[in-house]
Amino acid sequence: MNATSESPKVTLPSPLPDSDKMVKALGSPVRWKMLKELSSGEPRTIGELASAAGCNYDNAGRHLIVLRKAGLVVQGRGRLYQIPKQYLSATGQPHVDYGHCLLRMDAAG
């Protein structure tokens, strides 16, 4: 095999979220808005995420449960939520690489 026919080696983040749960979690525009807000790498409160997503506090809490169960976000100290660091872009771009897919949050609506 010559060098031009070899495929590049890709390093996937570990652990990968469950793909079925991930696809279901990404099916909501509210959750997309929350992920876009979290793609900066900075933790956010439920209130901040509710405001960014245009929903109330209780609804935001329910959406965050779905994202957390899918492994797309984690809850830290002080009820702050964030995307696990291993999924965030090292370049500082608002891109999230869950291994199964790359989300370019700068292009998200």
Residue 7 in domain? no
Residue 12 in domain? no
- Taking phi over 0 as left and psi of -120 to 50 as alpha, with beta for the rest, 77 belongs to beta
Range of the domain at 92: 19-104
Residue 1 in domain? no
pLDDT tens digits for the chain (109 residues)? Answer: 444 555 455 455 568 888 899 999 999 999 999 999 999 999 999 999 999 999 999 999 999 999 999 999 999 888 899 999 999 988 878 899 988 888 998 765 5
pLDDT of residue 58: 97
Residue 54 in domain? yes
Q: Residue 101 and residue 93: Cα distance in Å, rounded? A: 15
Residue 93 in domain? yes
pLDDT of residue 99: 87
Place of tokens 């095999």: 1
Q: What predicted TM-score, i.e. pTM, was given to this entire model? A: 0.81
Contact 94, 39 (CB under 8 A): yes
Q: Residue 52 and residue 39: Cα distance in Å, rounded? A: 12
pLDDT of residue 1: 46
Q: What is the CATH number of the domain that holds 100?
A: 1.10.10.10
Residue 2 in domain? no
Number of domains in the chain: 1
